[in-house]
């Protein structure tokens, strides 16, 4: 059986630990994602959420255990062939992008696996794709704006368009709504909800601190605390007051409102 035989598994972590300075940042995590699933990772600060995304993007290797991404086992595959199949939109990427490049250039360079170097001969088809992704994310009026002059919300929407450019099979979103105002958050959640419900869109994993940011159409949730998975499964069954309270370490009440979620702490006695 070749590595590609397991293609319907988008991600499979088996007893994965990542150890730094004698401490497990993620601790014996087993987690499997199938094609078409849209996952939320929830957990408090320092829980290991970004470490999980870094594993899923092949930028980090397990210290022990095994990780398979898009059918390929980490350590047995050339990561430079694997990485273009994975789109990553996170603030760490924003720091690598030139501030004086336009929004359109910032998205277009992704098609060539680059962060900078504007070439004169980008193909028209790539430019029209970049424009279409920016349009879907409401960035039409900003195509010629310098990336470095964008607000946080505009920058995040640009990074998502950029991550879509390579037509990834797996899209990773690291706190896409963090720092946005109410309108910006709601606008982004709606756009991500539309993407999540698009059957042609890639499998997705989104890290967030807030259940209010879970876009409609996300199907599964993983909760992590101190490097250990508390629960992983369908949103309907796992996103409960009990699980969320255990995850964040205080009594919380989760409510579902249509396709959206809210959570609040119980008042102090
Ligand atoms: N290279 C490293 N060496 C040592 N410790 C690290 C390293 N990278 C991360 N950590 C620690 O590992 C833990 C998990 O980090 P991670 O960034 O995955 O958490 P997180 O859940 O994404 O947190 P946040 O919500 O604050 O972004 C944290 O305590 C962090 O300080």
pLDDT along the chain (269 residues), means of 10: 57 97 96 96 96 93 96 91 89 83 91 62 82 92 96 90 91 91 92 92 95 97 97 97 96 96 90
Tell how far the Cα of 55 is from the centroid of ligand 1, in angstroms.
13
- For residue 209, the ligand 1 atom closest to its alpha carbon is 25
- For residue 25, the ligand 1 atom closest to its alpha carbon is 12
Q: Which residue owns the Cα nearest ligand 1 atom 18?
A: 48
The best mutation among 21, 40, 48, 224 to test binding of ligand 1, ranked by most ligand atoms within 8 Å of the C-beta, falls on 48
State the pLDDT at residue 119: 58
State the pLDDT at residue 6: 45
Tell how far the Cα of 232 is from the centroid of ligand 1, in angstroms.
20
β-pair type (9-20, 64-69): antiparallel
Give residues (CB < 6 A) around ligand 1: 20-21, 25, 43, 45-51
State the pLDDT at residue 4: 45
Tell how far the Cα of 127 is from the centroid of ligand 1, in angstroms.
37
State the pLDDT at residue 158: 94
* CATH code linked to domain 3-265: 3.40.50.300
Tell how far the Cα of 120 is from the centroid of ligand 1, in angstroms.
40
The best mutation among 42, 44, 47, 57 to test binding of ligand 1, ranked by most ligand atoms within 8 Å of the C-beta, falls on 47
* Domain residue limits, the chain: 3-265
Complex-level ipTM: 0.96
The best mutation among 46, 56, 60 to test binding of ligand 1, ranked by most ligand atoms within 8 Å of the C-beta, falls on 46
């Amino acid at each position: 059986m070749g590595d590609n035989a397991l293609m319907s598994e988008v991600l499979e972590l088996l007893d994965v630990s990542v150890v730094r300075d004698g401490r497990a940042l993620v601790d014996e995590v087993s987690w499997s994602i199938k094609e078409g699933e849209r996952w939320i990772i929830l957990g408090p600060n320092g829980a290991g959420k970004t470490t999980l995304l870094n594993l899923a993007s092949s930028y980090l290797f397990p210290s022990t255990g095994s990780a398979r991404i898009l059918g390929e086992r980490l350590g047995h595959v050339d990561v430079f062939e694997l990485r273009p199949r994975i789109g990553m939109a996170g603030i760490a990427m924003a720091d690598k992008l030139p501030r004086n490049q336009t929004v359109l250039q910032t998205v277009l360079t992704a098609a060539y696996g680059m962060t900078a170097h504007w070439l004169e001969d980008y193909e028209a088809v790539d430019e029209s794709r970049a424009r279409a992704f920016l349009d879907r994310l409401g960035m039409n009026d900003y195509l010629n704006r310098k990336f470095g002059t964008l607000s946080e919300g505009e920058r995040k929407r640009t990074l998502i368009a950029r991550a879509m450019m390579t037509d990834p099979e797996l899209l990773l979103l690291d706190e896409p709504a963090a720092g946005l105002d109410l309108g910006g958050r709601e606008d982004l959640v709606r756009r991500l909800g539309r993407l999540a419900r698009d059957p042609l869109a890639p499998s997705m994993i989104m890290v967030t601190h807030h259940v209010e940011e879970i876009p409609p159409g996300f199907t599964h949730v993983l909760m992590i605390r101190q490097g250990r998975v508390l629960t992983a499964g369908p949103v309907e069954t796992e996103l409960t007051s009990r699980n969320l309270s255990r995850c964040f370490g205080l009594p919380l009440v989760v409510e579902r409102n249509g396709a959206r979620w809210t959570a609040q702490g119980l008042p102090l006695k």
